[in-house]
Amino acid sequence: MRAPTTQRRRPGGPSRFGRAFGPLARMLNPLVLKVAGRRRFGMVAQVHHVGRRSGHRYTTPLGARPTATGFVIPLTFGRDADWCRNVIAADGCQIRFKNRTYTVADPTIADTARAGATVRGVFRRHERMIFRLGGINEFLLLETVLDAG
């Protein structure tokens, strides 16, 4: 008898959470975008990025937290998400967080082991538990270049 196989997430693909809630996120993003980046809605930031092929400007609402040197964003939908690929191709973006705009650069993808101390320092315990349960184990680390206020 064969042992049961476990479904593994392909590298760069969405987490379990991302696969389950992806269609819902597409419907809710326009609504969330209206409040993202505001002072009283600090759990979600606006990420302003440029399309790597089209050159169009995009704004995507994402969970993000400031760190001592920049920002950390959980890769719920994986490193293959268009916004992530755009940020990496452009070597940065702008983040609107709590009514302030930051220019960030040097995007680095880190797994939980590499980003663990950073993640523990900025995300609450229940958020980290959701990451584990949802299979979110990669993060985009960005360094602040300019705080535009």
Task: Give CA angle at 147 (146, 149), nearest 5°.
Answer: 145
Q: Is the pLDDT of residue 109 over 50?
A: yes
Whether 9 maps to a domain, the answer reads no
| Exposure class string for 63-101: b at 16+ Cβ within 10 A, else e | bbbbbeebbbbbbbbbbebebbbbbbeeebbbbbbeeee
Rounded distance between C-alpha atoms, residue 57 and residue 100, angstroms: 19
Whether 3 maps to a domain, the answer reads no
Query: Mean of the pLDDT values across residues 89-103?
Result: 95
With contact defined as beta carbons under 8 Å apart, do 82 and 145 qualify?
no
Looking at the chain, the whole-number percentage of residues with pLDDT higher than 90 is 49
Encode pLDDT of 13-45 as tens digits. 777 656 666 666 666 666 667 767 777 767 789
Whether 4 maps to a domain, the answer reads no
Q: How many folded domains does the chain comprise?
A: 1
Q: Which domain holds residue 20?
A: 16-147
pLDDT at 5 (0 to 100): 39
Whether 66 maps to a domain, the answer reads yes
User: What is the CATH number for 45?
Assistant: 2.30.110.10
Whether 11 maps to a domain, the answer reads no
Whether 139 maps to a domain, the answer reads yes
Longest CA–CA span in the chain (Å) reads: 62
Whether 8 maps to a domain, the answer reads no
